[in-house]
Amino acid sequence: MKVLITGAAGQLGRALVEELGRRDWEAVATDLPEMDITDRDAIWRALSDHRPGVVINAAAATRVDDLEGDPDLAMKVNALGPRHLAVACRRLGAKLVHISTDYVFDGAKTGPYLEWDATNPLSIYGLSKLLGEEGVRQQCPDHFILRTAWLYGLPGPNFITAILARARQGQELKVVHDQRGTPTSAPALAAQVLALARTEAFGTYHATCQGEATWYEFALLILERAGLTVKVRPCTTEEFPRPARRPANSVLENRLLKLEGLDLMPSWQEAYNQFWDRYGEQL
């Protein structure tokens, strides 16, 4: 099986390339500038040249706060880009795996979100990702849409690198304690993506690590594993204002993966411990 990855230089893209290296699948790693998913002609050339059986779209505009002031960029990359890929995959008969986000929800639900819960994005980023999902569904029947949340990996920057950088400078940390979600490691998600891509169980899935935490609780584990001792103070979202509104509840349940017997995701604590053991010296 030949797999073409967009956004291969990013956190998930790198984890996918590494995971494919352990299997008998051929990886075609693409990223800017040679592969711009907003360029329909570039997509068609790349897919026509390589003829992959699976395309994994790990490319996205993810600077959530910046996108509030640049909605055109969000729509080009996160909405039109996936649709262009879906059209090309349909024409070539390739499966498309598209990565989406918890930001398609408003976070008002009290329990974990299921795949069929109503969407209601609060930000330009969330809206653009929701439109990207719709474009994939409309244009490519052989698709998998995986919504994930609180993703981290190499090379960063991400929440882990930010916490470690400030702690190593001896700074007191103030970390939000009223947003709940599930920290999800890129290596764990990569293994889940490839397991699903082997099937024809097409549709929309949630794919996060198991359990839930606040950003404050996640920060405590990060510091514990790094052996850093600094004062950490929990705070509210209102004390840490950002341009883009965040869902207060980002907990996703992998209900459909479980029903299909395909849920491979570990607990968020186990996944982070594995990530630290493997990559901690690089963080």
Q: What are the residue numbers of the active site?
A: 125
Is-contact 206 147, C-beta < 8 A? yes
Per-residue DSSP letters for 172-220? -EEEE-S-EE--EEHHHHHHHHHHHHTS---EEEE---BS-EEHHHHHH
Is-contact 125 67, C-beta < 8 A? yes
As a whole number of angstroms, the distance between CA 181 and CA 108 comes to 13
As a whole number of angstroms, the distance between CA 1 and CA 26 comes to 6
Closest to 12 (Cα-Cα) out of 75, 76, 60: 60
End-to-end CA distance of the chain: 33
Is-contact 2 53, C-beta < 8 A? yes
Is-contact 145 137, C-beta < 8 A? yes
